[in-house]
């Protein structure tokens, strides 16, 4: 079963197609300015709905292209999954930090009513141990919990395939892609539990 997991974000949104434990394809993209150039801050003004619309249109185009590419390679149906974004509980964060990602989730629901919604659960951090209160405490090597495509390139033991889509994250961070991979895995398990064919 192929699932395109999406980790929505204010400045970066990542998507990874996952089939079983294999990370097939991925990307990390952000908003664009009025000229269509990548601009992480383009959607910071939550009142600028045109900026959000540009970001959403870019995401939909990227999702469409990703699904078409997978199917053209003989991969078959691709389910779409996204992490649910909840308003902050008590902590003070910028409005755009949760509102823009939540708008992305709403936009994806409009795009695909069958979108699998995945609850937040420290996705992208499977390489962390948890304490008795379920808090993330110690990091272990990413290589223990993710396929080579999602490993850092240090030491040349893994790294992002050249065939993948863009990674526009400021410093090339991969945490959003690892989160998208985890989201796809949770969604696949949920789809199988519902009786969807693999």
Q: Provide the residue ranges of all domains of the chain, joining segments of one domain with +.
A: 2-193
Residue with tokens 């949770």: 186
Distance CA 95, CA 92 (A): 9
pLDDT of 157: 59
* Alpha helical stretches, state H, 74-174: 95-111
Distance CA 49, CA 45 (A): 8
Closest CA to 8 of 159, 176, 175: 176
- The answer to whether the Cα torsion of 152, 156, 162, 163 is positive or negative is negative
Asked if 93 contacts 42 with a C-beta cutoff of 8 angstroms, the reply is: no
Asked if 192 contacts 20 with a C-beta cutoff of 8 angstroms, the reply is: no
What are φ and ψ of residue 98, in 5° steps?
-115, -30
Distance CA 45, CA 67 (A): 30
Model's pTM, two decimal places?
A: 0.91
Closest CA to 181 of 134, 139, 125, 135: 125
Asked if 10 contacts 43 with a C-beta cutoff of 8 angstroms, the reply is: yes
CATH code of domain 2-193: 3.30.420
Strand (E) or helix (H) holding 117: strand 116-118
Helix-, strand-, coil-residue percentages of the chain, each rounded to 5: 35, 20, 45
pLDDT of 118: 97
* Alpha helical stretches, state H, 40-125: 49-72, 95-111
What is the residue-level pLDDT of the chain in tens, covering all 198 positions? 999 999 999 999 999 999 999 999 999 999 999 999 999 999 999 899 999 999 999 999 999 999 999 999 999 999 999 999 887 776 677 888 888 999 999 999 999 999 999 999 888 887 888 888 888 787 778 888 899 999 876 655 567 888 999 999 877 888 899 999 999 999 999 999 998 865
């Amino acid at each position: 079963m192929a699932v395109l997991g999406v980790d929505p974000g204010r400045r970066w949104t990542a998507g990874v197609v996952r089939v079983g434990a294999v990370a097939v394809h991925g990307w990390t993209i952000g908003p664009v300015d009025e000229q269509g150039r990548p601009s992480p801050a383009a959607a910071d003004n939550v009142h600028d709905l045109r900026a959000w619309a540009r970001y959403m249109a870019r995401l939909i185009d990227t999702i469409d292209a990703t699904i078409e590419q997978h199917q053209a390679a003989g991969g078959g149906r691709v389910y779409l999954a996204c992490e649910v974004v909840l308003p902050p509980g008590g902590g003070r964060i910028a409005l755009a930090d949760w509102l823009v990602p939540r708008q992305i989730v709403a936009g994806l629901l409009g795009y695909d009513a069958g979108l699998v919604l995945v609850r937040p659960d420290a996705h992208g951090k499977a390489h962390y141990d948890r304490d008795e209160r379920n808090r993330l405490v110690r990091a272990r090597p990413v290589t223990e919990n993710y396929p080579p495509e999602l490993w850092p390139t240090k030491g040349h033991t893994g790294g992002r395939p050249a065939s993948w889509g863009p990674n526009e994250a400021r410093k090339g961070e991969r945490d959003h892609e690892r989160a998208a991979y985890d989201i796809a895995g949770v969604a696949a398990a949920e789809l199988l539990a519902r009786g969807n064919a693999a």
